[in-house]
Amino acid sequence: MPPILSGSDDNSWAWPRYARRVLRRPDLLLRGRVLCVNWLKYKQHLKAGFMNSLPLKGLRIIEFSGIGPGPYAGQVLADMGAEVIVIDRPKRGDIALEKAVDRRGKRSIIIDLKSPKGIQTALELIQSADALLEGNRPGVMERLGLGPDTCLALNPGLVYGRMTGWGQNGPYAQMAGHDINYLSITGALQAIGPADLPPPPPLNLMGDFGGGSMFLVTGMLAALLSAKTSGQGTVIDAAICDGVNSMMGMFHSMDAAGGWNTQRQNNWLDGAVPYYRCYQTSDQRFMAVGCIEPQFFAIMLNMLDLDAESFGSQHKIDLHHGQAAILAAKFASNTMTHWAGMFDQSDACVTPVLTYREAAQHPHMAARHALQKHDGLTHPAPAPRFGAELAEIDTNIPADGEHGDEILAELGVLAK
């Protein structure tokens, strides 16, 4: 039997071998014609990427509008195929963007949660949903009459995702804060940046999206999987300080082994070593050097025409200051474009430091269709990818309340 009929999805490598057998065996030609139809269908299957529908297709998630990690978590779930309905407020917040990537592929309904009718409509939506996500301070949803106890009593299988900075309990639970504050109590912020300057905010990638959104999505997916078999929903308490703290495990491990300390820019991965940092080029741009392994370090030295013996041992700390100066002078002697071209596709682990506007033109990013422009907005491709091809994404950015009538009609509210 040819692999195409064996039930495996990873069989494209084996088909040519079977085709050769068909050509050598006339008695297999008729069978081959039939199988060609199957092969064409199989190729379409591969091109579609994993399956005809994304893995979360059929799930409904209600998202209470907010900013930052909550909406991004909703975007990731929508990119995976979930139907995400955003409950927008009658008046948009001052810093909320009207046209944001994290709204793509969602539907929007405006509901006044200060009115009994609005609360009733929200509860009807929640009753129809598999999951809910919200990012209010602890207690807000309870005061609205939309807390976990109420919603789970109405819909026992509901996964109730809660996104906050400090978590649902603890001394700081009711305190305002932002990404930089949540990082500050975990040890992560103190570890970043030059030793002689204050710690710089690492954008809000580490806290809001890494420690927040990703842990909320992970928790919700796990709970949805459990609810599918048990019928019982649960509450996900996703706190940014918890997520970042979880990611700090490697550094606690290295500290226990004597390989990390609390001084900034005095450790293996914080810019202290010459083989893991950025160097300025002659055109005031930068190259990222990350050749940790000795074989990659040797390739870098060779490509820079530096004698390994005179350069000295990679891990001898008292040589690092001088080695960094040599590398700094070397990279400063030419442009970023020059070095990027020279190191392109080598194992030296040396790459150009691009702006977010340049990223789409980088050959690797372009080959993976990492960034696509639609209606004047640049959309990062969904991640992770399911299957061999990048799935098409719904780049529609809904206006506030754009789908209100159709959502109400689905609930039967208009008919009433």
Give the residue numbers annotated as catalytic, written as ranges. Answer: 178, 208
Q: Is the peptide bond before 202 cis (omega within 30 degrees of 0)?
A: no
CA distances for 208 relative to 11, 165, 212, 238, 299, angstroms? 40, 8, 5, 11, 37
Yes or no: say if 363 and 383 are a contact pair by the CB < 8 Å rule. Answer: no
Closest among 126, 171, 118, 175 to 148, alpha carbons compared: 126
Yes or no: say if 238 and 161 are a contact pair by the CB < 8 Å rule. Answer: yes
Q: Would you state the structure tokens that stand for residue 386, as one six-digit string?
A: 């399911």
Closest among 345, 341, 339 to 327, alpha carbons compared: 339
How far is Cα 359 from Cα 17, in angstroms, rounded to an integer? Answer: 40
- Per-residue buried b or exposed e for 167-198, using 16+ beta carbons within 10 Å of the residue's own CB: beeeebeeeebebebbbbebebbebbbeeeee
Q: Max alpha carbon distance in the chain (Å)? A: 84
